[in-house]
Structure 1
Amino acid sequence: MGSEGSIERSKTATPGKAIILALGKAFPHQLVMQEFLVDGYFRSTNCDDPDLKEKLTRLCKTTTVKTRYVVMSEEIIKKYPELVVEGLPTVKQRLEICNSAVTQMAIEAAQSCIKNWARPVSDITHLVYVSSSEVRLPGGDLYLAKGLGLRPETQRVMLNFSGCSGGVAGIRVAKDIAENNPGSRVLLATSETTIIGFRPPNAKRPYDLVGVALFGDGAGAMIIGSNPDPTIESPLFELHTAMQHFLPDTEKIIDGRLTEEGISFKLGRELPQIIEDNVEGFCEKLMKVPGYPQNDYNKMFWAVHPGGPAILNRLEKKLDLLPDKLNASRRALADYGNASSNTIVYVLEYMLEENKKTRKEDQEEDEWGLILAFGPGITFEGILTRNLAA
């Protein structure tokens, strides 16, 4: 943040500042319509508990999710029937599925991103890979580098188990790399699947149903670098100031543990309230740049990871945002569910799409905005950002 000086209103990229130059995404082939999820889930898990079924039906409506992509399929359950049997140790089988699936999705998302970037893969100098869905040595970063044909000199960083804040954490790390290595081009890739935590319904774990109703699978990718080549590269978002902040004594609110049956998650009901109580102070710190008009939130764009509708609603209310300010986040949630670290890529894509429809000449409003995500810790990740897209 230090020496940026007063903010300029020009759309020209700031020399030396990291910029998102391309986006890409990928999904597994299994598309789930939310209206058919309940029957499919209870059928595949051989469960016939009417109370749990009714609860999941209600949750599916309140999440606002319409469609999601998932790796889980009838073929997988036939091959690994133990996945739907309560109490069996299945972490080996889950990782066997997840490690392969997340690598393939990450490769496809990165290939899409590189195609949009329009420079050769050999120009990538660094790789940042984010996932909460795999555990292995060597890590998925190496398998992704191999699958893409990256040069052996490519410098790799892997972020594990950052959950929903992982995508923005990855952007922050890629920003630091890009700004401290002139000429570098950083590929950021994220990839997630819910199979690592897929479990049959159990009346003793009603909170599991929240995950069933909310989470989806997929992958995302970005190319990040500074001083773009105007003859080839198309700047999208300038990453001005990045910040991470954790809230002391909240580590049990989002609690995930790797067990013999995969990852077990618990989400505290107080999570939306905690975010509401702390989000404005966090945003104010991010916006403390000389010359920036603080607290004028409705003159900014908001790229918020949609952890769930309650979080978006609380943030909208707390900051008194206009209803359209979180359109991109709500669209991403409806179309893909909460896909953990990937979802911020989908939000940014929707934001660019909406900008093309509404942009006016000389419009200063929405040039600046915040990229936000909230994850285990509770950890806040945020980046003060400029929209450079035409």
Structure 2
Amino acid sequence: MASRRVEAAFAGQSVELGTTTTKPPTNGTNGHNHQTTKNGINSSSPRQASPGKTTVLAIGRAVPTNTTKNDGLADHYIEQFQLQDPIVQAKLRRLCETTTVKTRYMVVNKEILDEHPDFLVEGAATVSQRLAITGEAVTQLGLEAATAAIKEWGRPVSEITHLVYVSSSEIRLPGGDLYLSQLLGLRPDVNRVMLYMLGCYGGASGIRVAKDLAENNPGSRVLLITSECTLIGYKCLSPDRPYDLVGAALFGDGAAAMVMGADPIPVLERPFFELDWAGQSFIPNTSKTIDGRLSEEGISFRLGRELPKLIETNVQGFCDPLLKRIGGLAYNDIFWAVHPGGPAILNAVEKQLELAPQKLEAARQVLRDYGNISSSTCIYVLDYMRQHSLKLKEANGGVNTEPEWGLLLAFGPGVTIEGSLLRNLC
């Protein structure tokens, strides 16, 4: 029965190849490996990949067809969950507006809820049923995103040597990495890594692990897949669990995939980004700020109000050493691919680093278009940025006018800051 319900959620699904664009960052670059003008804009040769450094060779995305609009969503939830408390109603309406999310894509649909009315009963033991549906859903999403990335890459699937799979939405043995390997037709000796339950920084962790694999295995090609489904945490809204209201207004479902490898083959492969460095750091004594627990009714989260302030206080200490690696550029001289955990997170980063508003426009646009898709979201931001870079390059006679250097940042349980130092090679 689970298969039929999941298939209904994906009926008519079309895989996205990153066709949506957004406004660009407008400041300059430091001119690494090419001539620059006074304002730092590339004026001569195209940017070349550095020997031995991991590059992003393709990106794919996929979402369910079930679309959720935040406009009017509060009234829907109030009716569905019979929320009588006027304070709760007002808070939910305010959250649906202040998250800035316009559209999300969800696996959960009327058919699933009609089949499982207990999903909306507080305390009901439904984790087994949720995991059965979610496991199939994240596999389907991951398959579609990976198929899109491999198609864009343009080389045989047999050339994939490593698979990194990231999800905070499923728990099973064997994991989604095996199912995806078989469905994609990867070689039986493909080297697989699973990263489970990392939350919103999982995509950035997957990029770091893929980078290490690519650079320590010459000639390798790594397929990174992130896939998330909110059904595991979809439950009756309760005033006793205020974060449920945030989740109802903010999170969506979706998958992303990237093909990555060092030393791209001329003509056969086209690199978009290069990873110079990747790493993470946790903020001491903050393990309870983001707290997630799996119980008989699914996953429940608690999010501390102090999270935006913690990020604001600590983000500069994470970023400063990275800018020293590239000659001490100013924050507004680089591009920013920041995981849009919510508008408060983006506002905290923007405020602390004194970023020009356009620097986080790609992240804000992804948040508007998809909501927070946990591990997948930072890859969506990268895809938005590369599509706009390519569009600008075409408009400027083949010259890449975007900043060459940039930072990818994501935040999650720990509290953990995960990031990568990137070059734009578009």
TM bin (shorter chain): over 0.9
* C-alpha separation in 2, matches of 1:24 and 1:176: 21
Q: Which has the larger displacement, 310-319 or 360-369?
A: 360-369
* C-alpha separation in 2, matches of 1:364 and 1:70: 36
Structure-1 residue corresponding to 2:61: 25
1:340 paired to 2:374: yes
RMSD over aligned CA atoms reads: 1.5
How high is the sequence identity, in percent, across the aligned residues? 58
Tell me if the contact between 2:54 and 2:275 (Cα under 8 Å) persists in the aligned partners.
yes
| 1:46 to partner: Cα distance | 4.5
Aligned pairs (5 A) from 1:209-248: 209-248=245-284
Tell me if the contact between 1:125 and 1:184 (Cα under 8 Å) persists in the aligned partners.
yes
* C-alpha separation in 2, matches of 1:100 and 1:363: 41
Secondary structure class of the residue paired with 2:269: coil
1:8 paired to 2:42: no
1:56 paired to 2:85: no
Q: Deviations over 1:178-224 (max 9, x none)?
A: 00000100000000011111111112112210011111000000001
Aligned pairs (5 A) from 1:294-333: 294-333=328-367
1:148 paired to 2:184: yes
1:375 paired to 2:412: yes
1:91 paired to 2:127: yes
Q: Deviations over 1:249-304 (max 9, x none)?
A: 10100100101110000111110000000101100122332xx2325111100000
* C-alpha separation in 2, matches of 1:277 and 1:362: 37
Tell me if the contact between 1:63 and 1:214 (Cα under 8 Å) persists in the aligned partners.
yes
User: Using a 3 Å threshold, how does the CA distance of structure 1 residues 119 and 365 change in structure 2: closer, same or farther?
Assistant: closer
Which runs of no fewer than 5 residues in structure 2 stay unpaired?
Answer: 1-30, 35-45
Tell me if the contact between 1:118 and 1:232 (Cα under 8 Å) persists in the aligned partners.
yes
Tell me if the contact between 1:303 and 1:369 (Cα under 8 Å) persists in the aligned partners.
yes
| 1:48 to partner: Cα distance | 4.3
Select the residue among 129, 151, 163 that pairs with 1:127: 163
* C-alpha separation in 1, matches of 2:339 and 2:60: 17
Letter in 1 for 2:421: L
Q: Deviations over 1:363-383 (max 9, x none)?
A: 675110001101110111111
* C-alpha separation in 2, matches of 1:377 and 1:274: 11
Structure-2 residue corresponding to 1:251: 287
Which runs of no fewer than 5 residues in structure 1 stay unpaired?
Answer: 1-5
| 1:47 to partner: Cα distance | 4.1
Q: Which has the larger displacement, 168-177 or 116-125?
A: 116-125
| 1:51 to partner: Cα distance | 3.0
Tell me if the contact between 1:328 and 1:350 (Cα under 8 Å) persists in the aligned partners.
yes
Tell me if the contact between 1:286 and 1:382 (Cα under 8 Å) persists in the aligned partners.
no
1:352 paired to 2:386: yes
| 1:155 to partner: Cα distance | 0.4
Letter in 2 for 1:304: V
* C-alpha separation in 1, matches of 2:133 and 2:76: 20
* C-alpha separation in 1, matches of 2:124 and 2:49: 55
Structure-1 residue corresponding to 2:214: 178
* C-alpha separation in 1, matches of 2:80 and 2:178: 34
Structure-1 residue corresponding to 2:175: 139
Letter in 2 for 1:177: L
TM-score (norm 2): 0.87
Letter in 2 for 1:387: N
| 1:11 to partner: Cα distance | 1.0
| 1:8 to partner: Cα distance | 3.5
Letter in 1 for 2:380: Y
Tell me if the contact between 1:369 and 1:384 (Cα under 8 Å) persists in the aligned partners.
yes
Structure-2 residue corresponding to 1:199: 235
Secondary structure class of the residue paired with 1:288: helix
Tell me if the contact between 1:26 and 1:219 (Cα under 8 Å) persists in the aligned partners.
yes
* C-alpha separation in 2, matches of 1:385 and 1:272: 24
Tell me if the contact between 2:389 and 2:400 (Cα under 8 Å) persists in the aligned partners.
no
Structure-1 residue corresponding to 2:15: none
| 1:50 to partner: Cα distance | 3.6
1:385 paired to 2:422: yes
Number of corresponding residues:
382
Letter in 2 for 1:123: E
Letter in 2 for 1:350: Y
TM-score (norm 1): 0.95
Q: Deviations over 1:141-181 (max 9, x none)?
A: 10111111111010000000010000000000000000000
Secondary structure class of the residue paired with 1:269: coil
| 1:325 to partner: Cα distance | 0.6
Letter in 2 for 1:217: D
* C-alpha separation in 2, matches of 1:343 and 1:54: 28
Secondary structure class of the residue paired with 1:64: coil
Structure-2 residue corresponding to 1:40: 76
